[in-house]
Structure 1
Amino acid sequence: MAPVPAEWTAPTPPEGNAPLTVTPAPAPAPDPAPGAELVPYLDPSTVALLSTATQGPSVGWRKWVYRASGRLINPGESPKVIRHNSLVAQVQQPLRECYRIAMLSQKGGVGKTTITATLGATFAGHRGDRVIAVDANPDRGTLNQKVPLETPATVRHLLRDAEGIAAYSDVRQYTSQGPSRLEVLASESDPAVSEAFSAEDYTRAVEILERFYGVVLTDCGTGMLHSAMSAVLEKADVLLVVSSGSVDGARSAAATLDWLDAHGHEDMVRNSIAVLNGVRRGKRSTRVDLDKVVDHFARRCRAVCEVPFDPHLEEGAEISLDRLRADTRESLLELAAVVADGFPGARRQSDPTA
């Protein structure tokens, strides 16, 4: 009888049998409790997988040191640039609904229309939403002269055709736009039109605009008793009281605040912003003690901002932010940041917890 072959086994290595390592399968995740929030798996996106590039200085000697060292020495941004970037971030805060700014002054010639146009241009140049300035002057306003004229239409034409306005493109037919993307809705300039711009007219106009614009600025007339003023105060989220650096300009601005206090608008006065326009400090300063003027309004208003004298603004023509002096542009950015400090949900710069 032939021998039965032995069962074949694998040869044993010289070192002996290697230990067998078995990786246990992961235990199945327990079912989430009822009402528990499901946490999604992390997506291996580009941002997650790539390291963040080092950001070098953007201007000045710090930029050249960074480049000359082959990007080995990074002194960081200067305090001035850091502050500028902080102001820009403040201005760019998102808005869930339209924010309405009213510009007031009982005295003409203090630059109220100029502040309206430059502040609006600053917002429009830094924000992604639409910004419009409305000329609510019952007399012949000049706000439309601060941007290139694209249409002869006025707020009267907008109200006449209100029922047919359903999209932004419809509104755009009645506005003129500057290089900063600020749009302007002009007031009626025909002296033959005797019909007053009433409170109801202003309310209807703003209700149309706030559907398509993130920020609406209103350039009011000098009379606190003109027909549209009651609606302006009712619709405004913040008031900017504009004054020059002169004695009579400061007195007129203070009288504006007195009138508001006397007519039940104390809360609006406390939340208002005083703007001193055309300020000259230093060697060319006037004899007016501007520090005392600032102190007076600081006791009554939420903030006081100064806009220095600028030759381009003195021209009184179309305004281009690029033609302004650097300190003027920075002061307007500071003003815009102070206004944005009052946006709903904003954390104010003066808040120590911010």
Structure 2
Amino acid sequence: MRDDHPGYPGAAAGDFRSERRFTAPEPQTPPIGMPSVDPFGQTGGQAGYLGGFPGQGAPRPVATPPGAPLPPPVRPSVPSTPYPDLSTSALLPQARPAPSGGWRRWLYLGTGKLVNVGDGPREVHRKNLIAHAEQPLTGCYRIAVLSLKGGVGKTTITATLGATFASLRGDRVIAVDANPDRGTLGHKVPLQTPDTVRDLLRDADSIARYSDVRSHTSQGPSRLEVLASDADPAASEAFSGEDYTRVLDVLERYYSLVLTDCGTGLMNSATSAVLDSADTLIVVSSGSVDGARSASATLDWLDAHGHEQLVQNCVVVINAVRPRSRKVDLQKVVDHFSRRTRAVRLVPFDPHLEEGAEIDLHRLRPPTREALIELAAVVADGFPAPGADRS
């Protein structure tokens, strides 16, 4: 074979390309770069998209598909020690962290802690997610959980996400029931007080310390506190946007994270106040056709009423997904919401959550627990950088 033959290894690259014997495969995603994701959270596929929509000058935020690794968490810069040569890392040998579980843990203990192979990729990824959820936060971050359709698990997502944050972080986390139709958020933690949001409003002017607020809330095993709505439907209808603003003024002085469980209506004044004050939005959908359509209609309404920024930074949660149910093409549902929002996450069906009683994270199945940790990490990825202007 001649040296200049295109098939010869030493042939010039230009000669090989000039033959055009191969054609590039047809793209499997639209030009805007819709992410290719596995609806059941398996690793793989495109990590996200950076392309903007037609008519938009700035690129959209990167959408993180289910199962994709998150970038390293942002940590605040701290001044260096005045004695760098006397730092702990310089003076003491840094021991490798012991494996957390599995055969690696057994090997570590079985060899008298002499053989330490470290954690596997799955545990490393889990610790990365936890590091994201534990990111430092300046001030109070307000999360609104919304759904136009009832019965999709909006209150359950509020409680489980809040419990996940509270169990991972060291600061205070509270969930507020702003449902004007007698919400059930107060039923997700053991009842410690009969007080409701009405009692907090009554005592708002006399609250001067954290213990004053704590006397009106109930706390679960995860340390999540819940401020329940009024149990009387006739009285709860009077809960207005002004009332919510007063409640928020009190809570943001003592809590780092405030999650608000909104009602199913979008036109009441309480929901309007929640949306106006929210830093980020979570829209909950079921895996059914009508659930997905209702969630998409919620985004349409928000876009049409001046909340475009909330929609762009929104996280959509498809709740209670049964892995063996193939009646609805969840891939297309995920693709639809990925084009409109910052991220989409799936939370699998769990028998403990189906009970509708108090939620204990330790009773959840491992896939559900992992999905909630990943959801918390994705939400925390939207936290403002330390020192950033949030006005």
CA 1:199–1:42 in 2, change beyond 3 Å: closer, same or farther? Answer: same
1:312 to 352, 369, 373: 352
What is the CA deviation profile of residues 178-216 of structure 1, one whole-angstrom value per residue up to 9, with x for unaligned ones? 000000001111134265111111111011100000000
CA 1:303–1:42 in 2, change beyond 3 Å: closer, same or farther? Answer: closer
Partners of 1:299 and 1:113 lie apart in 2 by 25
Q: Is the partner of 2:300 in helix, strand or coil?
A: helix
Equivalent position of 2:311 in the other structure:
269
Shift of 1:286: 3.7
What are the residue-to-residue correspondences of 1:102-251 with 2, within 5 Å? 102-193=144-235, 196-251=238-293
Residue 304 of structure 1 aligns to which amino acid in structure 2? V
Structure 2 residue 333 is matched with structure 1 residue 293: yes
Shift of 1:77: 0.9
How many aligned positions are there? 308
Structure 2 residue 137 is matched with structure 1 residue 59: no
Q: Is the 8 A contact 2:132 2:381 kept in 1?
A: yes
Equivalent position of 1:25 in the other structure:
none
CA 1:244–1:39 in 2, change beyond 3 Å: closer, same or farther? Answer: closer
Structure 2 residue 135 is matched with structure 1 residue 93: yes
Equivalent position of 2:296 in the other structure:
254
Q: Is the partner of 1:228 in helix, strand or coil?
A: helix
Shift of 1:56: 2.8
Provide the aligned C-alpha RMSD in A. Answer: 1.9
What is the CA deviation profile of residues 71-115 of structure 1, one whole-angstrom value per residue up to 9, with x for unaligned ones? 443322111100010011000001111000000101000000000
What is the CA deviation profile of residues 255-299 of structure 1, one whole-angstrom value per residue up to 9, with x for unaligned ones? 100100111111110110000000011xx3140000000000000
Residue 329 of structure 1 aligns to which amino acid in structure 2? R
Equivalent position of 1:327 in the other structure:
367
Larger Rg: 1
Equivalent position of 1:13 in the other structure:
none
Residue 227 of structure 1 aligns to which amino acid in structure 2? S
Partners of 1:164 and 1:179 lie apart in 2 by 28
Q: Is the partner of 2:235 in helix, strand or coil?
A: coil
Residue 367 of structure 2 aligns to which amino acid in structure 1? D
Residue 65 of structure 1 aligns to which amino acid in structure 2? L
Higher deviation after alignment, 251-260 or 261-270: 261-270
Partners of 1:110 and 1:39 lie apart in 2 by 51
Q: Is the partner of 2:249 in helix, strand or coil?
A: helix
Equivalent position of 1:74 in the other structure:
116
Q: Is the partner of 1:307 in helix, strand or coil?
A: strand
Q: Is the 8 A contact 1:196 1:227 kept in 2?
A: no
Gaps of 5+ in 1: 1-36, 347-354
Residue 312 of structure 1 aligns to which amino acid in structure 2? H
Q: Is the partner of 1:90 in helix, strand or coil?
A: helix
Q: Is the partner of 2:266 in helix, strand or coil?
A: coil
CA 1:63–1:235 in 2, change beyond 3 Å: closer, same or farther? Answer: same
Q: Is the partner of 1:133 in helix, strand or coil?
A: strand
Shift of 1:40: 3.6
Residue 315 of structure 1 aligns to which amino acid in structure 2? E
CA 1:65–1:201 in 2, change beyond 3 Å: closer, same or farther? Answer: same
CA 1:329–1:39 in 2, change beyond 3 Å: closer, same or farther? Answer: closer
Residue 198 of structure 1 aligns to which amino acid in structure 2? S
Equivalent position of 1:11 in the other structure:
none
What is the CA deviation profile of residues 3-59 of structure 1, one whole-angstrom value per residue up to 9, with x for unaligned ones? xxxxxxxxxxxxxxxxxxxxxxxxxxxxxxxxxx99844585766533222323221
Q: Is the partner of 2:269 in helix, strand or coil?
A: coil
Residue 327 of structure 2 aligns to which amino acid in structure 1? R
- Identical-residue share of aligned pairs (%): 70
Partners of 2:173 and 2:197 lie apart in 1 by 16
Q: Is the 8 A contact 1:131 1:215 kept in 2?
A: yes
Partners of 2:84 and 2:236 lie apart in 1 by 66
Partners of 2:236 and 2:106 lie apart in 1 by 63
Q: Is the partner of 2:143 in helix, strand or coil?
A: strand
Q: Is the 8 A contact 1:242 1:274 kept in 2?
A: yes
